[in-house]
Chains A and B, each alone.
Chain A
Amino acid sequence: MIFDRPTSIELIEAVIDFLDSEIKSELPPHLAFKIRIVTNVLKIVQREVNLGDQLSEEAKKLIADAIEDIQDPSMNKFAEAIKNGNAELNKESLKKALIEITKSKLSVDNPNYSTYKKLVE
């Protein structure tokens, strides 16, 4: 990486802190609600920058285990294999891939979501 600090994550964190501590309290309720959406979006970006590469690599391995002879595993190819009937739907490795990849998505998109919390406990 050729860039200086702050890192991209640190930049996003600074913006989240600013919105939370200085802006939110100054706004009327309907805009405070929108700012909450904005900080939630930034937190998704923050988590994706932190975890995204690792989770995507793990997903590729899970997909390769689930679908025989798959070249260059991706979410598109995984979906296509299920659609075309090239995947054995009852196979444990397929179920595992669906479960684990979906959990990975939630760990970035919304780790507070009730079903995610239930499943990782």
Chain B
Amino acid sequence: MTEDLSSKLFSSLSDSGIHGRIEDLVPLTGGASKEIWKFNLVDSKESTRMIFRRGAQGESSLAIKTADEAKIQEEVSKTGVSVPQIIFVSNDSKLGDAYVMKFIEGETIPRKILRDERFKSALPLLANQCGEEIAKIHNTPLDNLQFLPKKSSKALVEDLYLLYESYKQPSPVFEYAYRWLKEQDFGNFEDSLVHGDFRLGNILVNESGLNGIIDWELAHIGNPIEDLGWMCGNSWRFGNSQMVVGGFGNLEDLIAGYNSVSAEKINAELIKTWQVFGTFRWGVICLMQVYAHLNGTVNSVEKAAIGRRVSETEIDIVDLLLLGGK
């Protein structure tokens, strides 16, 4: 498999004018639904570290095409967002729905980032940096991104509810959350590029803090505050629940970073509304994964176990809406 991929990569890259040998091609355990490989591209002058990313079978129906992720990364890099540089996008059957980007250094594993000595100095800076980077993403011109799904806040809530309902596993808490969400004001903002899954795990962190943003598969166009509410969800605090932003920072720093870049001024209350939405959304994504197992699409004990994590999102919603949780 590795040799076959290696020769295909070599020939596709050569055809598009990128010459060099493919060396040390190895798979990385990355996202659950993508294939990710690293390799070195070696020519007579230098060796460059590269990442190959390809969509896999049975992918989440919420995900965009992998090649489209590359187009987004090219667009956001123009507004100064830190993303890996795209060097090749596959549009043939040889490599499938895939692209090659330059390797960027940084840790993605949340528990390492939150606990290793190496990141001690980075953590206090991270919430502000995340605010800045998210605001830059939201400032990206949309002219070249019209292929992305576009939804109003109300439509997003309705679609999420329909998806939840389709699994026919009624949840009193989700019904309550839906009725609450229907009454909320989500804020009037210009349509923005939304990353859709901005959190530890999908950002690269080094000793100086945020070094790159990856995993654009849930990107869409909509209300920008969705990204801020999402990363404040307790599911993404990895046990450090007293640190509201991603398990490492506080809301004031995230907002200050955001407001230093964005013309849209935002507030904590609006973020909380989107945090409830995001928590419900994560619960439904968990449902989606467990039903892929229960319907027989994939047979996996990990996916089965995820079914019993839906209740984690329910208790977070109960805490947020009924018990004054943050």
Kindly state the separation between the CA atoms of A79 and B169 in the bound complex, as whole angstroms.
10
Report yes or no: A41 in contact with B311, Cβ–Cβ below 8 A.
no
Cβ 8 A contact of B308, one of A89, A99, A110:
A110
Nearest CB on B from A88, distance (A): 12
Kindly state the separation between the CA atoms of A37 and B322 in the bound complex, as whole angstroms.
31
Interface of B is mostly: helix
The residues of A that contact B29 with a CB separation of less than 8 Å are 30
| Segment of B86-94, B173-181, B190-198 in the binding face | B173-181
Which chain B residue lies CB-closest to A63? B172
- With an 8 Å Cβ cutoff, the count of chain B residues facing the other chain is 30
Nearest CB on B from A106, distance (A): 5
The residues of B that contact A1 with a CB separation of less than 8 Å are none
- With an 8 Å Cβ cutoff, the count of chain A residues facing the other chain is 32
Interface of A is mostly: helix
Q: Does chain B have a CB within 8 A of A64? A: no
Kindly state the separation between the CA atoms of A45 and B302 in the bound complex, as whole angstroms.
15
Kindly state the separation between the CA atoms of A73 and B319 in the bound complex, as whole angstroms.
24
- Which of B171, B237, B315, B318 neighbours the largest number of chain A CB atoms within 10 Å of its CB? B315
Kindly state the separation between the CA atoms of A92 and B171 in the bound complex, as whole angstroms.
19
Q: Does chain B have a CB within 8 A of A101? A: yes
What are 24 A-to-B residue pairs whose CB atoms are below 8 Å? A34-B301, A37-B301, A37-B302, A41-B301, A76-B170, A82-B179, A83-B178, A89-B179, A98-B173, A99-B322, A102-B314, A105-B315, A106-B315, A109-B309, A109-B311, A110-B309, A110-B311, A110-B312, A113-B312, A113-B315, A114-B237, A118-B319, A118-B325, A119-B323
Give the 3 A-B residue pairs with the shortest CB-CB distance, closest first: A79-B170, A114-B241, A82-B175
